[in-house]
Structure 1
Amino acid sequence: MKEKVVILGASNKPERYAYKAFKMLQEYGHTPIPVNPAFDEIEGVKVSKTLEEVSDVDTVTLYMNPQRLVEQVERLIHLKPRRVIFNPGTESKEIEQKLENAGIKTLEACTLVLLRTNQFEDK
Protein backbone atom coordinates (compact mmCIF):
# COMPACT_ATOMS: atom_id res chain seq x y z
CA MET A 1 0.00 0.00 0.00
CA LYS A 2 1.41 3.38 -1.00
CA GLU A 3 1.49 5.93 1.79
CA LYS A 4 1.26 9.65 2.44
CA VAL A 5 4.55 10.42 4.19
CA VAL A 6 5.38 13.65 5.99
CA ILE A 7 9.05 14.63 5.76
CA LEU A 8 9.56 16.79 8.85
CA GLY A 9 12.67 18.86 8.20
CA ALA A 10 12.40 18.59 4.41
CA SER A 11 15.14 20.13 2.29
CA ASN A 12 15.53 21.32 -1.29
CA LYS A 13 19.29 20.67 -1.19
CA PRO A 14 20.19 17.51 -3.19
CA GLU A 15 23.03 16.59 -0.82
CA ARG A 16 20.67 16.35 2.18
CA TYR A 17 19.15 13.03 3.25
CA ALA A 18 15.75 14.70 3.62
CA TYR A 19 15.89 15.62 -0.09
CA LYS A 20 17.03 12.10 -1.01
CA ALA A 21 14.08 10.71 0.97
CA PHE A 22 11.70 13.06 -0.86
CA LYS A 23 12.95 11.81 -4.24
CA MET A 24 13.05 8.15 -3.24
CA LEU A 25 9.55 8.20 -1.72
CA GLN A 26 8.30 9.54 -5.07
CA GLU A 27 10.31 6.90 -6.94
CA TYR A 28 8.66 4.14 -4.88
CA GLY A 29 5.17 5.54 -5.50
CA HIS A 30 4.54 7.16 -2.12
CA THR A 31 3.30 10.72 -1.68
CA PRO A 32 5.90 12.82 0.15
CA ILE A 33 4.53 15.77 2.10
CA PRO A 34 7.45 18.09 2.87
CA VAL A 35 7.23 20.23 6.00
CA ASN A 36 9.71 23.02 6.66
CA PRO A 37 9.04 26.74 7.26
CA ALA A 38 12.19 27.65 5.28
CA PHE A 39 10.92 26.52 1.86
CA ASP A 40 7.87 27.25 -0.31
CA GLU A 41 8.30 24.30 -2.67
CA ILE A 42 10.60 21.42 -3.54
CA GLU A 43 10.65 20.32 -7.18
CA GLY A 44 7.20 21.81 -7.74
CA VAL A 45 5.67 20.24 -4.61
CA LYS A 46 4.25 22.71 -2.09
CA VAL A 47 6.03 22.64 1.26
CA SER A 48 3.83 22.97 4.34
CA LYS A 49 5.18 25.43 6.89
CA THR A 50 3.92 23.49 9.94
CA LEU A 51 2.45 20.12 10.90
CA GLU A 52 -0.88 21.87 11.52
CA GLU A 53 -1.23 22.29 7.73
CA VAL A 54 -1.10 18.50 7.25
CA SER A 55 -3.70 15.79 7.90
CA ASP A 56 -4.49 12.18 7.13
CA VAL A 57 -0.97 10.76 6.87
CA ASP A 58 0.33 7.27 7.53
CA THR A 59 3.98 7.96 8.33
CA VAL A 60 6.15 10.84 9.50
CA THR A 61 9.86 10.54 8.76
CA LEU A 62 12.08 12.84 10.81
CA TYR A 63 15.03 14.88 9.61
CA MET A 64 15.35 17.27 12.54
CA ASN A 65 17.76 17.70 15.42
CA PRO A 66 16.15 16.10 18.53
CA GLN A 67 16.43 19.41 20.43
CA ARG A 68 14.36 21.16 17.75
CA LEU A 69 12.00 18.22 17.60
CA VAL A 70 10.85 18.72 21.21
CA GLU A 71 8.57 21.59 20.16
CA GLN A 72 6.93 19.32 17.55
CA VAL A 73 5.89 16.47 19.89
CA GLU A 74 2.38 17.71 20.68
CA ARG A 75 1.80 18.49 16.99
CA LEU A 76 2.92 14.96 16.07
CA ILE A 77 0.56 13.45 18.65
CA HIS A 78 -2.30 15.60 17.34
CA LEU A 79 -1.54 14.52 13.76
CA LYS A 80 -1.94 10.84 14.78
CA PRO A 81 0.23 9.13 12.16
CA ARG A 82 0.44 5.33 12.30
CA ARG A 83 4.18 5.59 12.82
CA VAL A 84 7.11 7.97 13.14
CA ILE A 85 10.52 7.04 11.72
CA PHE A 86 13.51 8.41 13.62
CA ASN A 87 16.28 8.62 11.01
CA PRO A 88 19.92 8.50 12.19
CA GLY A 89 20.69 11.61 14.23
CA THR A 90 17.07 12.30 15.17
CA GLU A 91 16.71 9.66 17.88
CA SER A 92 15.27 10.67 21.26
CA LYS A 93 14.12 8.04 23.75
CA GLU A 94 12.03 10.66 25.57
CA ILE A 95 10.17 11.72 22.42
CA GLU A 96 9.78 8.12 21.25
CA GLN A 97 8.20 7.23 24.61
CA LYS A 98 5.75 10.15 24.42
CA LEU A 99 4.68 9.08 20.94
CA GLU A 100 4.37 5.41 21.95
CA ASN A 101 2.28 6.45 24.98
CA ALA A 102 -0.04 8.23 22.53
CA GLY A 103 -0.45 5.04 20.49
CA ILE A 104 1.95 6.01 17.71
CA LYS A 105 4.44 3.36 16.62
CA THR A 106 8.06 4.55 16.50
CA LEU A 107 10.95 3.12 14.55
CA GLU A 108 14.65 3.98 14.64
CA ALA A 109 15.66 3.38 11.02
CA CYS A 110 16.80 5.02 7.82
CA THR A 111 13.94 5.75 5.44
CA LEU A 112 16.27 5.33 2.46
CA VAL A 113 17.39 1.86 3.61
CA LEU A 114 13.81 0.81 4.39
CA LEU A 115 12.76 1.79 0.87
CA ARG A 116 15.74 0.17 -0.86
CA THR A 117 15.31 -3.11 1.04
CA ASN A 118 11.53 -3.25 0.51
CA GLN A 119 10.87 -2.96 4.25
CA PHE A 120 9.24 0.50 4.24
CA GLU A 121 5.70 -0.82 3.95
CA ASP A 122 6.29 -3.84 6.23
CA LYS A 123 7.40 -1.99 9.35
Structure 2
Amino acid sequence: MAKKDKKGFRIPKEIGGVKVPKEARRAGEALIEKASSPAGRQMLASGLAMAATAAAAVAARQARDHGPASNANAAGESGTASVDPSRVADALGDAASAFMTSLFARSAK
Protein backbone atom coordinates (compact mmCIF):
# COMPACT_ATOMS: atom_id res chain seq x y z
CA MET A 1 0.00 0.00 0.00
CA ALA A 2 1.44 3.36 -1.02
CA LYS A 3 1.84 6.13 1.51
CA LYS A 4 -0.43 9.11 1.24
CA ASP A 5 1.39 12.30 0.30
CA LYS A 6 0.36 14.81 2.93
CA LYS A 7 1.37 18.39 2.44
CA GLY A 8 2.03 20.88 5.17
CA PHE A 9 3.63 20.78 8.56
CA ARG A 10 3.73 17.53 10.52
CA ILE A 11 4.22 17.43 14.28
CA PRO A 12 6.60 14.61 15.27
CA LYS A 13 5.37 11.70 17.41
CA GLU A 14 8.04 12.44 20.00
CA ILE A 15 9.42 15.80 21.11
CA GLY A 16 12.37 15.90 23.49
CA GLY A 17 11.87 12.26 24.41
CA VAL A 18 8.21 12.80 25.33
CA LYS A 19 5.51 11.04 23.32
CA VAL A 20 2.94 13.48 21.91
CA PRO A 21 -0.58 11.97 21.78
CA LYS A 22 -2.15 11.57 18.35
CA GLU A 23 -5.10 13.82 19.25
CA ALA A 24 -2.74 16.62 20.30
CA ARG A 25 -0.68 16.25 17.11
CA ARG A 26 -3.79 16.38 14.92
CA ALA A 27 -5.17 19.41 16.77
CA GLY A 28 -1.80 21.15 16.50
CA GLU A 29 -1.53 20.43 12.79
CA ALA A 30 -5.03 21.81 12.22
CA LEU A 31 -4.15 24.93 14.20
CA ILE A 32 -0.96 25.45 12.19
CA GLU A 33 -2.88 24.98 8.93
CA LYS A 34 -5.45 27.57 10.03
CA ALA A 35 -2.71 29.98 11.16
CA SER A 36 -1.01 29.82 7.78
CA SER A 37 -4.00 31.42 6.06
CA PRO A 38 -4.27 35.24 5.75
CA ALA A 39 -7.19 35.27 8.19
CA GLY A 40 -5.17 33.18 10.66
CA ARG A 41 -2.22 35.56 10.41
CA GLN A 42 -4.56 38.47 11.11
CA MET A 43 -5.92 36.69 14.20
CA LEU A 44 -2.40 36.02 15.46
CA ALA A 45 -1.39 39.64 14.92
CA SER A 46 -4.50 40.82 16.77
CA GLY A 47 -3.77 38.50 19.67
CA LEU A 48 -0.19 39.73 19.92
CA ALA A 49 -1.38 43.33 19.86
CA MET A 50 -3.84 42.60 22.69
CA ALA A 51 -1.06 40.92 24.70
CA ALA A 52 1.19 43.95 24.18
CA THR A 53 -1.60 46.26 25.29
CA ALA A 54 -2.17 44.20 28.43
CA ALA A 55 1.56 44.16 29.21
CA ALA A 56 1.75 47.93 28.75
CA ALA A 57 -1.25 48.42 31.05
CA VAL A 58 0.36 46.29 33.76
CA ALA A 59 3.63 48.21 33.42
CA ALA A 60 1.79 51.53 33.65
CA ARG A 61 -0.16 50.37 36.71
CA GLN A 62 3.03 49.24 38.43
CA ALA A 63 4.72 52.54 37.66
CA ARG A 64 1.72 54.43 39.03
CA ASP A 65 1.55 52.30 42.19
CA HIS A 66 5.27 52.58 42.93
CA GLY A 67 5.51 56.32 42.36
CA PRO A 68 7.43 58.18 39.67
CA ALA A 69 10.37 56.33 38.20
CA SER A 70 13.71 57.81 39.06
CA ASN A 71 15.85 57.89 35.95
CA ALA A 72 19.61 57.54 36.18
CA ASN A 73 21.37 60.87 36.11
CA ALA A 74 24.79 61.91 34.85
CA ALA A 75 26.43 60.87 38.14
CA GLY A 76 25.57 57.25 37.34
CA GLU A 77 22.91 56.64 39.99
CA SER A 78 20.88 53.56 39.28
CA GLY A 79 17.13 53.86 38.82
CA THR A 80 14.22 52.35 36.99
CA ALA A 81 13.26 53.62 33.59
CA SER A 82 9.65 54.03 32.59
CA VAL A 83 8.20 51.73 29.95
CA ASP A 84 6.93 53.23 26.70
CA PRO A 85 3.88 51.17 25.65
CA SER A 86 4.25 52.05 21.98
CA ARG A 87 7.86 50.80 21.96
CA VAL A 88 6.74 47.56 23.61
CA ALA A 89 4.01 47.11 21.01
CA ASP A 90 6.44 47.88 18.17
CA ALA A 91 8.99 45.40 19.52
CA LEU A 92 6.36 42.67 19.87
CA GLY A 93 5.06 43.40 16.39
CA ASP A 94 8.56 43.16 14.92
CA ALA A 95 9.22 39.90 16.75
CA ALA A 96 5.88 38.44 15.63
CA SER A 97 6.53 39.49 12.05
CA ALA A 98 9.98 37.88 12.06
CA PHE A 99 8.59 34.71 13.62
CA MET A 100 5.69 34.44 11.18
CA THR A 101 7.95 35.12 8.20
CA SER A 102 10.40 32.40 9.23
CA LEU A 103 7.62 29.95 10.11
CA PHE A 104 5.78 30.31 6.82
CA ALA A 105 8.95 30.46 4.75
CA ARG A 106 9.91 27.01 6.12
CA SER A 107 6.45 25.51 5.56
CA ALA A 108 6.34 26.79 1.96
CA LYS A 109 9.45 24.79 1.01
More helix by share: 2
Q: Shorter chain as normaliser: what TM range? A: under 0.3
TM-score, structure 2 as length reference: 0.26
More strand by share: 1
TM-score, structure 1 as length reference: 0.24
Compare CA radii of gyration and give the structure with the larger one: 2
